[in-house]
Amino acid sequence: MVLDSIKKRSTLKNIVIAILSIVILVFLLSPLAWMVITSLEEEALMFKRPPVVLPNGPFFANYQFIWVRFVSEEALEWGYVLPGSLPGVLAEARGMVQSVLNSLVVASCTTLVCLALGLLAAYTFAKVPIVGGTKFLFYIFVSRLLPPIAILIPVYTVFKTIGLLDTLASIILIHASFAMPFFVWILFVHFKSVPQSVEDSARVDGCSRFQVLTKIMLPIAKPGIIAASIFAFMISYNEFIFATTLSQSAASRTASATVSALAFSIGRYSVPLIMAGGIFAILPPIIIVLIFRKTILEGLVSIFRR
Amino acid sequence: MRELEERPKKGRWFGKDTRFGYLSIVPALILMSFFSAGPLVYALALSFQKYTLGAVERPFVFLENYQKLVESKFFAPSLVNTLIFTVGAVVFVFLIALIFTLILNEKFRANTWVRLALLIPWAIPEIANALGWRWIFDSNWGVWNGIVVYGFGIFNSYQSWLGNPNYAMGTILVPHIWKEVPLATILLLAGISTIPKSLYEAAKLDGANVLARFRRITLPMLRPIIQLVLVYETIQGITSFAYVFVLTGGGPGYTTTTLSWLVWMTSFSFGDFGQGSCVAVIMSIIALLLTLLYFRLLPTKEFGAVTVR
Amino acid sequence: MVSITLENLTKKFGKVVAVDNVNIEIEDKEFVTLLGPSGCGKTTTLRMIAGLETPTEGKIYFDGKSVTDIPPHQRNVAMVFQDYALYPHMTAYDNMAFNLKMKKMPKEEIQELVKKTAELLKIQHLLDRFPAEMSGGEKQRVALGRALVRQPTVFLFDEPLSSIDAKLREEMRSELIKIHEKIQTTFIYVTHDQVEAMTLSKRFAVMNQGKVMQFDTPMNIYNEPMNTFVASFVGSPSINLFTGVIVRDSTKDRFLFEGEGFVYSLPKSLKFPEKVIKTKSTLGVRPEEISVVKSEKGEGISTKIYTVEPRGDETILSVKFKDVLVKAKVEPGIDLQIGDSVIVTFKKGYIFDEDSKLLARW
């Protein structure tokens, strides 16, 4: 069927579209590709005009350095030094793996919090008629419109006073509040799309309100729940402002914070190593997107299902 | 349709249902208030205090902070820069996304790969994106310079893209636009796919050419999605922070100081949390006003499945 | 197998009164229909019987016991919906077995019952399929099976055949009648299709704006409609209604109906009290009770044929009394053309008073 619509168009139009699509692909992938290429270069080659592209083949030492350092402290004592790198301890790059792990933990916990609080709320908004329900739903949506940076200082101050400042818990809570509106929105749309009659049928068939939720609504909304969870995870993982500000020590730093530190080190340390660190941080979300691309795309599209 | 007639939304059912309902939404509401309305009010309070980092006392000085802020040499530029950045972001993101949508709407074999590629910029953390572009725009060794000097010969020598007041603002727009366009494209593509083909066929029979079909069918039918995209990109534009933070630090001078950067600068560079809170309050008011404006301009706007008036 | 009583049943949504003081007694094992246009309250009434809505006022009794405060999952009613409402994530088998599983019936018993019901409805081949893989008719049968397998006290049907094509609808209708006879359980059926109401039910209620206009057997409703609404809702093509006044014919000892553009002599047997004379009345005549004779002169109304619609087994003619269009149903093969002069008489008719209530008929 696709072939038919291709045949219908003139060959010229086909070629034009193909070229334009390639242009778009280049647009979409080149910055990331350049980061990857840079991370695979030898450091000495950074200082060339024009820039070179892998003249001596991919050079994985940077990644090894980051990974090995995480795996064992002794690796440093093996005399593992990057060929040609500037001397000095690059704490940020070494700590990248730990930071990524922290980010994964934070993002997972954020997702769990959203599931715990948002799932039931979304169902109620969609199906249970309560007074003022629309207003509360609206309130949750509108909260997203606030610039996050505007509440940075108050949140920072409060957490400092409570003493939660350098913990992952504080980051998890604030991430959950960022993710909650999207989470509730996606699930709200999904629950609303289930016809009332299916729910009625279940109630007549012997389900209490709660059983309707567990036996009928949840299974039906499963794809939506997965999509919403992925979104919550991504929102948390990619968040930068609060993750950086609310963590002080290396132990509680998330990937975003470490990448930020890396970004400021460009003049001082090996660029390929820095890029490798960046790629490390990018890997988890990219892997998630590759695995769940269909669910994510459907989740985004489902916003328009009415 | 029958449902709406015989079961208007305001169905009251006291007793178990109402209790269940409120109980299930209260935790989420508490979380949201704690991190949206609550802090905003607190920020307002802080903006009236003299609050420097590490200070023990926080006396109330009321509008003094605001006065100092408005009179400072970075306030006016920050407003202008935020405006320029946001407008530039919204316009370019929308236009480019629209073009992409029209191109990608045509079905062809590699479609699935392109759609996958669209998700990648969305997946990348903002800060990692900033990192990548920081190196691309490096004034000494960056590949962007390499391309424009050696590749296309537009310039004779390497430029300082981030240090030159004329280029800085445009330069920080690039990573932002790059990251936002794919998501906007996905949304627009989803919207376009809901337009029935029969409308186009009818229009062709009525004698409409490509441009007319675009103007009179595609655009009007896409209106709700376009509204959504515009609102979303406006928020993204106003709140954009990472690129200023990493790439320019507000400079050179104050040419790329946006409101969000101003919050950071006053709070952590100058150590004046009180003033930072002032900027935060002003920023929030602007953001909320803008969205109110959007909602007023559109009589009924469907927010997912909730109608907002 | 219960008798159901609705007592002063009222349902308000805010200011809107959806169901207004409905009082009906349904006998055990009876097939009853609620008939009416959209928004008349029939579905809301059904939902209240199911327990999906709570009445604002009034009570519902099953076999004399009040069930008004009992939630739906404890009332043991089965319901078939217009959009089938099958659980999309379960196979047909699981859909049908669901309620039995909720009642914690042992697996072997469930299997037995589902198999038997599937055989009854001829859907054994569908048991392993998901709703998305079935056609509308198949889904409706599974929905029916889901209701049947439970052996509930009462079956509720909410316009179940509206989304099915015409031919299949007829088949399903006769099947429903056969099933009802077989299982001898109370059926309550909601529809806006008067043909369904007439053919399926022993008695049916005509509802409008939340009120029950008339609750009686099909023949009684057809022959003795209590008001103009009932008269015009039941019967196809619908009854011809003429507004006018009743006057005494001074010369002869009878009454005349003065409509718009015509005067008709009413049969001698009809007598009217003084207060009705000269007040607004409505004359109703069903198309099949109109006699059309090709002639220039005679007793009756003189007019010309306006349209002719041969339908095979009958022919629908229309004529005009001044500006009013009148439809008549006559034998097929009648020799009349557009423009022919005819004399029109009424074999049977109804007179409704100024409140649209039935006053007299012949």
Give per-residue pLDDT as tens, A42-73.
Answer: 777 777 777 777 766 677 777 777 776 655 44
Mean pLDDT of C48-75: 90
User: Residue C71: is the preceding peptide bond cis (ω within 30°)?
Assistant: no
Domain containing A263 equals 94-304
Q: Which one of C16, C41, C54 has the shortest CB-CB distance to B8?
A: C16
Helix (H), strand (E) at residue C96: helix C92-102
- If one compares A74 and C202, the residue with the highest pLDDT of the two is C202
Domain containing B146 equals 75-256
Highest mean pLDDT among A130-139, B12-21, C198-207: C198-207
Average pLDDT, chain C: 89
Residue B294 within any structural domain of the chain: no
Residue B8 within any structural domain of the chain: no
Q: Long-range pairs for C303-309 at CB < 8 Å and ≥24 separation? A: C303/C341, C303/C342, C303/C344, C304/C339, C304/C340, C304/C341, C304/C342, C305/C336, C305/C337, C305/C338, C305/C339, C305/C340, C305/C342, C306/C338, C307/C338, C308/C336, C308/C337, C308/C338
Task: Name residues 42-101 of chain C within 8 A of B (Cβ).
Answer: 43-44, 53-54, 82
Alpha carbon of B18: minimum distance to chain C alpha carbons (Å): 14
Mean pLDDT of C48-56: 90
Q: Please give the tally of structural domains in chain A.
A: 1
CB proximity C52 to A under 8 Å: yes
Instruction: Say if residues C354 and C246 touch (Cβ distance below 8 Å).
Output: no
Residue type, C159: E
Residue B298 within any structural domain of the chain: no
Phi, psi of A78 (to 5 degrees): -70, -5
Which of chain A's residues have a Cβ under 8 Å away from the Cβ of C87? 198, 201-202, 216, 220
What local confidence, expressed as pLDDT, does residue B227 receive?
Answer: 84
Look at the block and give the residue holding tokens 């820039």: A51
Q: Please, which chains are in contact with B (at least 3 CB pairs closer than 8 A)?
A: A, C
Which of chain A's residues have a Cβ under 8 Å away from the Cβ of C81? 197, 200-201
- If one compares B16 and C204, the residue with the highest pLDDT of the two is C204
What local confidence, expressed as pLDDT, does residue A89 receive?
Answer: 38
- The DSSP code sequence of C233-273 is HSSSSPPEEEEEEEEEETTTTEEEEEETTEEEEPPTT----
> Is A200 within 8 Å of C79 when comparing Cβ atoms?
yes
Which three-class secondary structure state does DSSP give residue B26?
helix
CA B17 vs CA B4, B13, C60: distances in Å: 20, 6, 21
The angle formed by the CA atoms of residues A244, A245 and A249, to the nearest 5 degrees, is: 70
Tens digits of per-residue pLDDT, C274-326?
A: 887 888 889 999 999 998 888 888 888 888 899 998 888 889 999 888 888 89
What Rg, from alpha-carbon coordinates, does chain B have? 24
Which of chain B's residues have a Cβ under 8 Å away from the Cβ of C38? 2, 5
Phi, psi of C105 (to 5 degrees): -75, 145
Report the distance separating Cα B34 and Cα B19, nearest Å. Answer: 23
What local confidence, expressed as pLDDT, does residue B98 receive?
Answer: 92
Tally of residues, chain C: 362
Phi, psi of B48 (to 5 degrees): -95, 5
- If one compares C91 and B162, the residue with the highest pLDDT of the two is C91
Alpha carbon of C102: minimum distance to chain A alpha carbons (Å): 6
Instruction: Say if residues A248 and B117 touch (Cβ distance below 8 Å).
Output: no
Residue A292 within any structural domain of the chain: yes
What local confidence, expressed as pLDDT, does residue C321 receive?
Answer: 85
Look at the block and give the residue holding tokens 């219960």: C2
Each of the 309 residues of chain B gets a pLDDT tens digit; together they read 333 333 333 344 445 567 777 888 888 888 888 888 888 888 888 888 888 777 777 778 778 888 888 888 888 889 999 999 999 999 999 999 999 988 888 766 667 778 888 999 999 999 999 999 998 988 888 888 888 887 777 777 787 888 888 888 889 999 999 999 999 998 898 888 888 888 888 888 887 788 888 888 888 888 888 888 888 899 899 989 999 998 888 878 888 889 999 998 888 888 888 888 889 999 989 988 888 887 777 644 444 433 333
Q: Which residues contact A243 (CB under 8 A, 6 or more apart)?
A: A103, A106, A171, A175, A253, A254, A256, A257
Residue C100: half-sphere exposure toward Cβ, Cα within 13 Å: 23
Of B121, B96, B76, B126, the closest CA to residue B239 belongs to B126
CATH number for B119: 1.10.3720.10
Mean pLDDT of C201-216: 93
The ipTM estimated for the assembled molecules is 0.83
What local confidence, expressed as pLDDT, does residue C90 receive?
Answer: 87
- Extents of the domains making up chain C: 4-233, 240-361
Q: Please give the tally of structural domains in chain B.
A: 1
What local confidence, expressed as pLDDT, does residue A284 receive?
Answer: 92
Residue A297 within any structural domain of the chain: yes
> In the sheet where C240-249 sits, what is the strand order?
C262-265, C254-259, C240-249, C280-285, C350-352, C358-361
Confidence of residue C209 (pLDDT cuts 50, 70, 90): very high
CA closest to B16 among chain C residues: C71
Question: Is residue A81 pLDDT above 50, yes or no?
Answer: no
> Is A195 within 8 Å of C98 when comparing Cβ atoms?
no
Alpha carbon of B9: minimum distance to chain A alpha carbons (Å): 7
Report the distance separating Cα B284 and Cα B280, nearest Å. Answer: 6
Mean pLDDT of A93-112: 86
What local confidence, expressed as pLDDT, does residue A5 receive?
Answer: 54
SS3 content of chain B, % helix, strand, coil (to 5): 70, 5, 25
Residue B202 within any structural domain of the chain: yes
Instruction: Say if residues C362 and C285 touch (Cβ distance below 8 Å).
Output: no
Domain C4-233 classification at class level: alpha beta
Which of chain A's residues have a Cβ under 8 Å away from the Cβ of B118? 28
Q: How many CB atoms lie within 10 A of CB C354?
A: 13
Highest mean pLDDT among A138-147, A163-172, B256-265: B256-265
Tens digits of per-residue pLDDT, C220-278?
A: 999 999 999 999 999 888 899 998 888 887 777 788 888 888 888 888 888 888 887 88
Of A286, A239, A234, the closest CA to residue A260 belongs to A239
Euclidean distance between the first and the last CA atom of chain A, given in angstroms as a whole number: 28
Q: What percent of chain C has pLDDT over 70?
A: 100
What local confidence, expressed as pLDDT, does residue A76 receive?
Answer: 45
What local confidence, expressed as pLDDT, does residue A86 receive?
Answer: 41
What local confidence, expressed as pLDDT, does residue A83 receive?
Answer: 43
Q: How many CB atoms lie within 10 A of CB A224?
A: 24
The CATH number of the domain covering residues in C240-361: 2.40.50.140
What local confidence, expressed as pLDDT, does residue C47 receive?
Answer: 92
> Is B128 within 8 Å of A300 when comparing Cβ atoms?
no
Which of chain B's residues have a Cβ under 8 Å away from the Cβ of C43? 2, 6
> Is B8 within 8 Å of C13 when comparing Cβ atoms?
yes
CA B277 vs CA A189, A240, B85, B268: distances in Å: 36, 19, 22, 12
Report the distance separating Cα C144 and Cα C183, nearest Å. Answer: 13
Burial of A188 (0-12, 13-18, 19+ CB in 10 A): buried
The angle formed by the CA atoms of residues C67, C73 and C76, to the nearest 5 degrees, is: 65
Question: Helices in B150-222 by DSSP H: which ranges?
Answer: 165-193, 197-205, 210-213, 219-221
> Is C41 within 8 Å of B13 when comparing Cβ atoms?
no
Look at the block and give the residue holding tokens 């409570």: A162
Return the HEC string of chain A.
CHHHHHHHCCHHHHHHHHHHHHHHHHHHHHHHHHHHHHHCCCHHHHCCCCCCCCCCCCCCHHHHHHHHHHHCHHHHHHCCCCCCCCCCCCHHHHCHHHHHHHHHHHHHHHHHHHHHHHHHHHHHHHHCCCCCHHHHHHHHHHHCCCCHHHHHHHHHHHHHHHCCCCCHHHHHHHHHHHHHHHHHHHHHHHHHCCCHHHHHHHHHCCCCHHHHHHHHHHHHCHHHHHHHHHHHHHHHHHCCHHHHHCCCCHHHCCHHHHHHHHHCCCCCCCHHHHHHHHHHHHHHHHHHHHHHHHHHHHHHHHHHCC
Tally of residues, chain A: 306
Residue A41 within any structural domain of the chain: no
Of the residues B5, B12, B20, B25, the best mutation for testing chain A's interface (the one with the most A CB atoms within 10 Å of its CB) is: B25
> Is B126 within 8 Å of A293 when comparing Cβ atoms?
no
Instruction: Say if residues C60 and C48 touch (Cβ distance below 8 Å).
Output: yes
Mean pLDDT of C179-202: 92
CATH number for A215: 1.10.3720.10
Residue A3 within any structural domain of the chain: no
For residue C19, give both structure tokens: 């169901």
Residue B131 within any structural domain of the chain: yes
pTM, rounded to two decimals: 0.79
CA A148 vs CA B27, B40, B264: distances in Å: 21, 10, 12
Phi, psi of C313 (to 5 degrees): -90, -10
Question: Is residue C19 pLDDT above 90, yes or no?
Answer: yes
Residue A276 within any structural domain of the chain: yes
> Is B8 within 8 Å of C38 when comparing Cβ atoms?
no
Report the distance separating Cα C233 and Cα C221, nearest Å. Answer: 10
What local confidence, expressed as pLDDT, does residue A87 receive?
Answer: 38
